[in-house]
């Protein structure tokens, strides 16, 4: 039976039904949001006035009629006339249209430019320094003052006004978008997208942008309102739209001299200004609530066009059948941190065979995750990390691949799952969309087929009602379910190697056992190799055939699980084993923990790294670093001067 069973017709019908339900739900939520409804009604009114201006006000907005100057509102002139006898209703209608056009153009222009600047400045640190300093410079000037200065230089015209206002408002959009990018960048789901092989541009536009959209739309609508106010202020001061073109600012400016005797000249343009600004502000507030990613449904799909680009394919090598799938040789990963250059991984060597489960153990900070991240080259190679050594995957050294080739390895050949499934999933995309994304990133398949596969993958990982779950967002699922989803995403492209970095740590005990069983079951059924990173030696004993014990960036002991657990040779492994609670142990006795704690990487001891915590340490240990080597007649590799002596002792 094929792994992913397809029931396309049934799924398509359900999908259509769910789409309709989503739409209905959005409309219902919109209708109960008073601010959004009132704002939208007012905007519709302004839009109608702007579009149908010639029909609403049939008089010529420029026609001077001195005989009828300064006429009070009446049946003939509902808003009265101005100092040139022009019909004020007509001028307010055309003025509103002009102001709305300026507001719309400025909101659109500044949002588009500010969005691009904010996205790239937030994502690339080096660009941030340049772009944000320029933005800060512009932001330091009060909006009106900056606009006046630019208009004075360019000269008054509608086009120049729009250009100046776009420049004035770009910094506020850029700053807001940038800060939402900085927050998004911290989340593990963006890291997870790197592990799945997504390019920077794809991550920015597909995964970070949706999270910034609600902020952008809200801010855009406020800028619409603010641009109209600044336009009015500039025109009022004679530095905006040149007279006699009607704009709300010009009308207020015209009325200021007659405010005491002909107050209608300022009253009606003033009311129109309040109406437009209020409409945009109410709309912005309402939309902010509706677009909250935790409350909304499938809006992102409509707002974001999927990007089509795919990473260049990685030509998998063909290692001999008996050769290990992954061979790590003398891997060194130096990280440039605030504490200086530190060796997070320091000469690590081990192998993962085809279909094998290898455990990596050690206390927190021993370099387990750093080793895993190095295999997928997840550290930023421009600023943070330098790699040395070899990481041979199917005979090909991953350290020699280009970034593009590396992207096609991640999520495709080698997948990774993390300990916190919630932060590894994108909150603004449904579960199904995220699996489809991974599939389409590496496989030339259509959306429909990818969706069917996504549902089957969810079924494979034991998620009940997978069709419904695929439509849900990460926050709607329990921790165990989310980890199953992460596994489904990791398995989407049927990788040959799964790196599971403490996949059960964030889950409760019964769920931990289920997730572990699921990983092992998939390993057995799909023949997929697994690199299992854990603190839990019990899990290693149960699940792995070989184990690698790490301490301070180095392998201190590695070998066959049974042999190593029966006769651990390194004092650190012995310490770790003694700290495991035993059912047959004496419960009145405290569990022995390894004394002391893992030192920081910038304070590495001389000689054996474990010496300061080791009860067997002597002068030689404290001065000369032991090599990782097997004892005569043994297979287990150990890095200890006293291993020979310890091999004769009981653990």
Ligand X SMILES: Nc1ncnc2c1ncn2[C@@H]1O[C@H](COP(=O)(O)OP(=O)(O)OP(=O)(O)O)[C@@H](O)[C@H]1O
CB of 380 to ligand X, least distance (A): 8
**Quick one: which segment of 47-55, 79-87, 121-129, 366-374 binds ligand X (CB under 6 A)?**
366-374
Please identify, using beta-carbon distances, which residue of 280 and 366 lies nearer to ligand X.
366
**Quick one: which segment of 81-89, 367-375, 446-454, 463-471 binds ligand X (CB under 6 A)?**
367-375
580 to 619: interface string for ligand X, x by CB under 6 A:
---------------------x------------------
DSSP string over 225-283: HHHHHHHHHHHHTTSSSPTTS--HHHHHHHHGGGTTT-THHHHHHHHHHHHHHHHHHHH
Here the contacts of 607-613 (C-beta below 8 Å, separation 24 or greater) are 608/639, 608/640, 608/641, 609/551, 609/552, 609/553, 609/554, 609/556, 610/551, 610/552, 610/556, 610/570, 610/571, 610/572, 610/640, 613/572, 613/575
CB of 522 to ligand X, least distance (A): 23
**Quick one: which segment of 211-219, 364-372, 482-490, 580-588 binds ligand X (CB under 6 A)?**
364-372
Going from the C-alpha of 323 to that of each of 44, 326, 581, the distances in angstroms are 69, 9, 37
For 332, the token pair is: 């060194």
Q: Phi, psi at residue 341, to the nearest 5°?
A: -80, 120
Please identify, using beta-carbon distances, which residue of 26 and 124 lies nearer to ligand X.
124
Q: Is 361 in the site for ligand X (CB under 6 A)?
A: no
Cα gap 337→524, rounded to integer Å: 40
Please identify, using beta-carbon distances, which residue of 462 and 599 lies nearer to ligand X.
599
Are residues 80 and 72 in contact, defined by beta-carbon separation less than 8 angstroms?
yes
Q: Is 366 in the site for ligand X (CB under 6 A)?
A: yes
Please identify, using beta-carbon distances, which residue of 135 and 555 lies nearer to ligand X.
555
Q: Is 335 in the site for ligand X (CB under 6 A)?
A: yes
Please identify, using beta-carbon distances, which residue of 74 and 337 lies nearer to ligand X.
337
Please identify, using beta-carbon distances, which residue of 276 and 366 lies nearer to ligand X.
366
Q: Which of 365, 432, 466, 559 binds ligand X (CB under 6 A)?
A: 365
Please identify, using beta-carbon distances, which residue of 369 and 408 lies nearer to ligand X.
369
CB of 335 to ligand X, least distance (A): 5
Q: What angle do CA 316, 319, 325 make, to 5 degrees?
A: 85
Please identify, using beta-carbon distances, which residue of 226 and 536 lies nearer to ligand X.
536
CB of 342 to ligand X, least distance (A): 7
For 559, the token pair is: 């070998």
Are residues 545 and 628 in contact, defined by beta-carbon separation less than 8 angstroms?
no
CB of 411 to ligand X, least distance (A): 20
Quickly tell me which residue has 């939208």 as its tokens.
40
Q: Phi, psi at residue 34, to the nearest 5°?
A: -60, -45
Q: Is 288 in the site for ligand X (CB under 6 A)?
A: no
Cα gap 135→137, rounded to integer Å: 5
Are residues 439 and 451 in contact, defined by beta-carbon separation less than 8 angstroms?
no
Q: Is 396 in the site for ligand X (CB under 6 A)?
A: no
Among residues 467, 472, 441, the alpha carbon closest in space to that of 454 is found at 467
**Quick one: which segment of 181-189, 209-217, 368-376, 435-443 binds ligand X (CB under 6 A)?**
368-376
Please identify, using beta-carbon distances, which residue of 18 and 486 lies nearer to ligand X.
486
Q: Is 344 in the site for ligand X (CB under 6 A)?
A: yes
Please identify, using beta-carbon distances, which residue of 193 and 335 lies nearer to ligand X.
335
Among residues 453, 533, 466, 463, the alpha carbon closest in space to that of 494 is found at 453
Cα gap 210→180, rounded to integer Å: 10
**Quick one: which segment of 111-119, 142-150, 362-370, 538-546 binds ligand X (CB under 6 A)?**
362-370
CB of 536 to ligand X, least distance (A): 11
Helices (H) and strands (E) in the chain, counts: 26, 12
Query: Count of residues binding ligand X (CB under 6 A)?
Result: 12
According to DSSP, residue 326 is labeled E
For 578, the token pair is: 């003694």
Q: Phi, psi at residue 190, to the nearest 5°?
A: -75, -40
**Quick one: which segment of 165-173, 207-215, 358-366, 509-517 binds ligand X (CB under 6 A)?**
358-366
Please identify, using beta-carbon distances, which residue of 121 and 360 lies nearer to ligand X.
360
CB of 338 to ligand X, least distance (A): 8
Please identify, using beta-carbon distances, which residue of 186 and 508 lies nearer to ligand X.
186
Q: Is 516 in the site for ligand X (CB under 6 A)?
A: no
Q: Phi, psi at residue 594, to the nearest 5°?
A: -70, 125
Cα gap 352→557, rounded to integer Å: 15
Q: Is 367 in the site for ligand X (CB under 6 A)?
A: yes
**Quick one: which segment of 132-140, 361-369, 455-463, 628-636 binds ligand X (CB under 6 A)?**
361-369
Q: Is 337 in the site for ligand X (CB under 6 A)?
A: yes
Q: Which of 110, 245, 253, 369 binds ligand X (CB under 6 A)?
A: 369
CB of 212 to ligand X, least distance (A): 24
Please identify, using beta-carbon distances, which residue of 434 and 554 lies nearer to ligand X.
554
Q: Is 575 in the site for ligand X (CB under 6 A)?
A: no
- Cis upstream peptide for 244 (omega within 30°): yes
Please identify, using beta-carbon distances, which residue of 250 and 554 lies nearer to ligand X.
554
CB of 23 to ligand X, least distance (A): 43
Are residues 39 and 283 in contact, defined by beta-carbon separation less than 8 angstroms?
yes
Encode 220-230: b = buried (16+ Cβ within 10 Å), e = exposed: bbbbbbbbbbb
Name the strand (E) or helix (H) holding 24: helix 8-32
**Quick one: which segment of 277-285, 360-368, 390-398, 621-629 binds ligand X (CB under 6 A)?**
360-368
Please identify, using beta-carbon distances, which residue of 15 and 368 lies nearer to ligand X.
368
Q: Which of 176, 370, 506, 549 binds ligand X (CB under 6 A)?
A: 370
Please identify, using beta-carbon distances, which residue of 302 and 383 lies nearer to ligand X.
383
Q: Phi, psi at residue 414, to the nearest 5°?
A: -125, 125
Q: Is 362 in the site for ligand X (CB under 6 A)?
A: yes
Window 423 to 442, contacts with ligand X (CB under 6 A): none
CB of 562 to ligand X, least distance (A): 24
Please identify, using beta-carbon distances, which residue of 343 and 626 lies nearer to ligand X.
343
76 to 115: interface string for ligand X, x by CB under 6 A:
----------------------------------------
Name the strand (E) or helix (H) holding 491: helix 479-491
Q: Which of 368, 410, 459, 639 binds ligand X (CB under 6 A)?
A: 368
Cα gap 358→360, rounded to integer Å: 7
Are residues 515 and 507 in contact, defined by beta-carbon separation less than 8 angstroms?
yes
Cross-strand partners of 499: 416, 531
For 503, the token pair is: 């996949």
Binding site for ligand X (CB under 6 A): 335, 337, 344, 362, 364-370, 601
């Amino acid at each position: 039976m094929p792994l992913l069973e397809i029931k396309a017709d049934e799924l398509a019908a359900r999908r259509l039904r769910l789409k309709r339900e989503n739409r209905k739900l959005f409309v219902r939520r919109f209708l109960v949001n008073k601010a959004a409804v009132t704002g939208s009604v007012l905007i519709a009114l302004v839009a109608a006035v702007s579009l149908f201006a010639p029909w609403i006000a049939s008089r010529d907005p420029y026609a001077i009629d001195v005989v009828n100057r300064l006429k009070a509102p009446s049946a003939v002139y509902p808003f009265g006339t101005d100092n040139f006898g022009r019909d004020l209703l007509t001028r307010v209608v055309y003025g509103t249209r002009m102001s709305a056009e300026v507001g719309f153009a400025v909101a659109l222009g500044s949002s588009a430019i500010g969005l691009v600047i904010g996205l790239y400045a937030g994502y690339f640190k080096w660009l941030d320094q340049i772009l944000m300093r320029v933005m800060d410079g512009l932001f330091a000037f009060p909006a009106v003052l900056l606009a006046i200065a630019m208009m004075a230089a360019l000269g008054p015209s509608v086009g120049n006004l729009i250009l100046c206002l776009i420049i004035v408002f770009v910094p506020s959009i850029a700053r807001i978008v940038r800060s939402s990018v900085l927050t998004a960048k911290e989340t593990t789901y963006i890291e997870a997208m790197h592990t799945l092989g997504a390019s920077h541009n794809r991550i920015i536009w597909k995964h970070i942008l949706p999270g910034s959209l609600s902020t952008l739309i809200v801010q855009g609508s406020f800028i619409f309102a603010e641009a109209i106010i600044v336009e009015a202020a500039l025109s009022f001061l004679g530095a905006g739209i040149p007279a006699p073109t009607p704009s709300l600012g010009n009308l207020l400016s015209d009325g200021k001299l007659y405010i005491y005797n002909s107050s209608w000249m300022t009253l009606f343009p003033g009311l129109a200004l309040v109406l437009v600004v209020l409409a945009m502000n109410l709309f912005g507030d309402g939309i902010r609530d509706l677009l909250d990613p935790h409350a909304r449904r499938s809006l992102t799909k409509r707002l974001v066009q999927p990007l089509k680009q795919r990473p260049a394919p990685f030509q998998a090598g063909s290692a001999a059948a008996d050769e290990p799938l992954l061979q790590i040789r003398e891997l060194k990963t130096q990280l440039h941190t605030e504490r200086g250059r530190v060796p997070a991984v320091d000469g690590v060597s081990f192998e993962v065979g085809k279909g094998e489960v290898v455990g990596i153990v050690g206390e927190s900070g021993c370099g387990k995750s750093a080793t895993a991240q190095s295999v997928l080259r997840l550290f930023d190679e421009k600023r943070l990390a330098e790699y040395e050594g070899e990481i041979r995957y199917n005979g090909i050294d991953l350290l020699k691949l280009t970034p593009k080739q590396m992207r096609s390895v991640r999520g495709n050949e080698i997948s990774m799952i993390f300990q916190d499934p919630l932060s590894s999933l994108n909150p603004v995309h449904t579960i199904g969309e995220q699996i489809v994304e991974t599939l389409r990133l590496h496989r030339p398949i259509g959306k429909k087929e990818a969706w069917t596969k996504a549902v089957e993958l969810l079924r494979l990982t034991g998620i009940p009602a997978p069709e419904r779950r695929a439509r849900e967002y990460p926050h709607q699922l329990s921790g165990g379910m989310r980890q199953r989803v992460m596994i489904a995403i990791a398995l989407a492209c049927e990788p040959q190697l799964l790196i599971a970095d403490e996949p059960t740590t964030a889950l409760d005990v019964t769920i931990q056992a289920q997730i572990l069983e699921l990983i092992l079951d998939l390993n057995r059924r799909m023949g997929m190799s697994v690199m299992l990173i854990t603190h839990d030696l019990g899990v290693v004993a149960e699940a792995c055939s070989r184990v690698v014990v790490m301490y301070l960036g180095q392998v201190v002991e590695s070998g066959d699980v049974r042999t190593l657990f029966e006769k651990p040779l390194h004092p650190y492994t012995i310490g770790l084993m003694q700290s495991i609670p035993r059912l047959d142990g004496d419960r009145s006795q405290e569990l022995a923990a390894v004394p002391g704690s893992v030192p920081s990487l910038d304070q590495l001891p001389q000689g054996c790294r474990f010496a300061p915590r080791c009860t067997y340490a002597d002068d030689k240990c404290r001065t000369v670093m032991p090599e990782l080597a097997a004892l005569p007649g043994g297979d287990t590799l150990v890095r200890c001067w006293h291993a020979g002596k310890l091999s004769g002792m009981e653990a």
